[in-house]
Amino acid sequence: MASSQKVYKLRPRNKNAAKPQRYIVIFAVTALALTWMSAPTFDLLKERSYNSVLRTRLEKNTKENNVLRTEIKKLGTDPYIELRARKDLGLVKPNEIQYYVLTKKIKSKPKAKPKPKSWWQKALDFVETTFSK
């Protein structure tokens, strides 16, 4: 070999240098996959809670329908029609006198006083009334 030629030695490749990048990629792909797979689970939980709300509403409406069906059946009978006419409309039969029994007068609660406005509400009202014209 001639002395004018330089010999370059290649350093051995460091195998540990690529591992952190590989772990980051694996972590990112795993996180993305978990997020993608958990979205339907959250939707399922939301639908189940909405389903329970609808079930309670259905039970309430079913009970109300049953009450209304019994009311409809009662309305077909003469004694019930007479009772409702007397009670709701105040009707009486001929030659019959209707009496009203007055009960003890119930005291009404005093009206609540309105809360005083804070300083910023007063300022907003002033600005609104001043510049509204």
How far is 84 from 103, CA to CA, in rounded Å? 22
Judged against a pLDDT cut of 80, whether residue 84 lies above it is answered with: yes
How do the residues of the chain divide into helix, strand and coil, expressed in percent and rounded to 5? 60, 0, 40
Residue 60: pLDDT band by 50, 70, 90 thresholds?
Answer: very high
3-state DSSP assignment of residue 34: helix
The H helix count followed by the E strand count for the chain is 3, 0
Q: Which residue has the higher pLDDT, 61 or 71?
A: 61
Residue 70: pLDDT band by 50, 70, 90 thresholds?
Answer: very high
